[in-house]
Amino acid sequence: MSLRRVATLPQDGPGTVRVPLVGPAVCAGFPSPADDFLEGALELPRWLVPNPPATFLMQVRGESMRGAGIFDRDLACVDRSLLPQHDSVVVAVVDALLSCKRYRIEGNTPRLAFDNPDLPAFAVDEASEVEIWGVVRFTIRWHVARGRLA
């Protein structure tokens, strides 16, 4: 038998997956010090989250991505197992902050761009190094004020 990595968890089947997964309840060697601190996981429908261990939720703050339909206080589902393509919406490290940006490939150079007509096109100098944290799979926005996160 040879072992091959499966790219994603099976998507069929009903129900929800836990994002994130709950850690190990019992370790074989040492008792887990996290045992007393495990919390209920944030649940999302399985068909929205093909790869739970690589999926993280974030809150978007700011208006620089309005053109992508992403607004202040929306919730972003970020998948670290996706590779960014031209025009992907990504979370990148900009000035040591996690930052939601448009990923553009100009010639052979990847660049991070705002997506807001009121702002300059590019968020980062051409010369700066771009570190991609993850790719935004989808965002959630509330259309009632009460449901929104504080």
The contact set with other proteins (CB under 8 A) reads: 1-3, 5-6, 20-30, 32-42, 51-54, 56-65, 70, 72, 75-76, 78, 80-81, 91, 93-94, 96-101, 131, 133, 149-150
**Residue 21 Cβ vs other proteins, minimum distance, rounded to whole Å:** 4
**Residue 136 Cβ vs other proteins, minimum distance, rounded to whole Å:** 8
Q: Which C-beta is closer to other proteins: that of 10 or that of 107?
A: 10
**Residue 107 Cβ vs other proteins, minimum distance, rounded to whole Å:** 25
Nearest CA among 56, 54, 51 for reference residue 11: 51
Nearest CA among 74, 67, 68, 89 for reference residue 133: 89
H or E stretch including 43?
Answer: strand 42-45
Q: Is 88 a catalytic residue?
A: no
Length of the chain: 150
| Choice among 2, 32, 64, 81 that is catalytic | 64
What letter would DSSP give residue 49?
Answer: -
**Residue 102 Cβ vs other proteins, minimum distance, rounded to whole Å:** 10
Q: Is 81 a catalytic residue?
A: no
Q: Which C-beta is closer to other proteins: that of 7 or that of 107?
A: 7
| Choice among 32, 81, 101, 128 that is catalytic | 101
The whole-angstrom separation of Cα 85 and Cα 69 is 18
Q: Cα angle vertex 11, ends 6, 16, to 5°? A: 125
Q: Which C-beta is closer to other proteins: that of 97 or that of 107?
A: 97
C-beta atoms surrounding 27 within 10 Å = 12
Catalytically annotated residues = 64, 101
